[in-house]
Amino acid sequence: MSEEHGHFEQGRWVEDPEPAADAPVIEEQIQEASRSVQKAIDDVVGLGHHLFGTQEGREHIERKARAAGADLSRAINDVAESARRALKRH
């Protein structure tokens, strides 16, 4: 029993509920993560254009980077949707 996580009510210890996450802050973090993913993809594609001398090499790295970015974006969106649902329940 820690007073930081609860309080006495009518002589009994009552656990305090977990504080709800602030929806605007979460939305901001989701948007920032999405921007970071897009920047990372753009950076890898740009690097590929400098490193690979052939069109085939540049296209290969671009396809791989965009596929990885799409997977990561889907994961971010899935987590974000779960967070939104959790916030609505509170």
Residue 50: CA count within 13 A, CB half-sphere? 5
DSSP 54: S
pLDDT of residue 32: 92
pLDDT of residue 1: 44
Mean pLDDT, range 19-24, rounded to an integer: 67
Mean pLDDT, range 52-81, rounded to an integer: 90
pLDDT at 76 over 60: yes
Tell which wins on pLDDT, 19 or 64: 64
* Percent of the chain clearing pLDDT 90 (strictly above): 26
Going by pLDDT thresholds of 50, 70 and 90, the confidence category of residue 48 is confident
The mean of the pLDDT values for the chain is 84
> 13: which strand partners?
8
pLDDT at 51 over 60: yes
